[in-house]
Amino acid sequence: MIRSVTSAPRDHLQHCFVLHRRHFGNSSLVLEVFSGSHGRQAVLAKGAKQTRGRRPAVGELLQPFRALWLSWTGRGEVKTLVRSEPAGPDAGLAGKVLYCGLYLNELLMRLLQRGDPHEALFAFYHLALTDLGTGKDVETVLRHFELRLLREIGYAVVLDREAASGRPVSRGQFYVYEQESGLRSAGADDGAAISGETLLELTAGGSLSRTAARDAKALNRQLLAPHLGTRPLKTRELFKPWGRSP
Q: Taking the domain 3-90, which CATH number applies?
A: 2.40.50.140
**pLDDT score for 11:** 46
Residue 6 has pLDDT above 50, yes or no: no
**164-213 pLDDT per residue, tens:** 999 999 999 999 999 889 999 998 888 789 999 999 999 999 999 999 99
Nearest-angstrom CA–CA distance, 15 and 36? 7
Q: CA 129 to CA 85: how far, in whole Å?
A: 19
**How many Cβ atoms sit within 10 Å of the Cβ of residue 38?**
20
Q: What pLDDT score was predicted for residue 202?
A: 94
Kindly indicate whether the domain formed by 96-242 is annotated with CATH number 3.40.50.11540: no
Question: Is the model's pLDDT at 64 over the cut of 90?
Answer: yes
pLDDT digits (tens, 9 = 90+) for 160-171: 999 999 999 999
Taking the domains of the chain in order of start, what are their residue ranges?
A: 3-90, 96-242
Least Cα distance to 46 among 28, 58, 71, 62 occurs for 28
Contact of 215 with 138, CB cutoff 8 Å:
no
